[in-house]
Amino acid sequence: MTALNALVRLTEALSSLGPVAVAASGGVDSMTLAVVAHRLFGKHALIVHAVSPAVPPQATERVKAHAEAEVWNLKIVDAEEFKDERYLANPVNRCFYCKFNLYDCIASVTKLPIVSGTNTGDLSDYRPGLEAAKDHQVTHPFVMADIDKDAIRDIARHLNLSDLSELPAAPCLSSRLETGVTVTPERLLFVNKVEGYISDLLSPETVRCRILAKQVEIQLDPESFDKLDGADKYRDRIIAFAGIDQSLPIKFAAYKKGSAFVHASS
């Protein structure tokens, strides 16, 4: 599928829904969807971005920058998932409570159909947030158009959205906490600061700062991990930079997707 064909299919899917409210997290999927929806519907489309300790500040700045450049009808909200004890407990289905609160919040500020940046590649993963979407009649235009992550990046390139097309995958910060480790703003701030610090210091392709039950694990893509010179020397510098008390031992490891997630059957 060419980028143009994918864009046409996406536009057709959106057109069939009429003006929509886009849940825009700041990642490439939802941001590309927001751009296309705005260019199709203009001010009749609503772009909704939720701020919380689980959303990196740089994602919020990205949303605001595009909103200003393209004159979006943007609404910033607080979905208040941090008032939900079920979410904070970080159970195996934490994402359900996150998305449930998000879609509840969006539904409270608009009557427009809500759409998400879910793509076909997401359907093969365990994503309890999709159940919350179903509960709120949220539609997934990329899925309707049979579009995956690679095609989304192609659409972004076609639209000259270079700052979006090459964005690395960036799940919410809460995904860095091992299942069962309580979600707190302080832990998420630590995660975000450490990942930014390591990115600036080592320029890895991928970095994840995972807070596990017994240690903090800073995971790098295999090539960067293999090149790591004397991991011990970084530990004190990380703590000093983050400026947050972190009593757990810190170690480096090779990146493993979803390794903070402990499934109920484990």
Q: Where are the domains of the chain?
A: 3-165, 173-254
pLDDT computed for residue 262 by the predictor: 76
Nearest to 182 by CA among 84, 79, 266: 84
Which CATH code fits 3-165?
3.40.50.620
pLDDT computed for residue 265 by the predictor: 42
Check if 3-165 and 173-254 are the same fold. Answer: no
The CA dihedral of 214, 215, 216, 220, to the nearest 10 degrees, is -110
pLDDT computed for residue 264 by the predictor: 47
Which regions of the chain are under pLDDT 50?
A: 264-266
pLDDT computed for residue 70 by the predictor: 95
Would you tell me how many other CB atoms lie within 10 Å of the CB of residue 101?
A: 22
Q: Could you say which architecture CATH assigns to the domain 173-254? A: 2-Layer Sandwich (3.30)
pTM of the model: 0.92
pLDDT computed for residue 11 by the predictor: 98
pLDDT digits (tens, 9 = 90+) for 85-115: 999 999 999 999 999 999 999 999 999 999 9
pLDDT computed for residue 175 by the predictor: 95
pLDDT computed for residue 259 by the predictor: 78
pLDDT computed for residue 244 by the predictor: 60
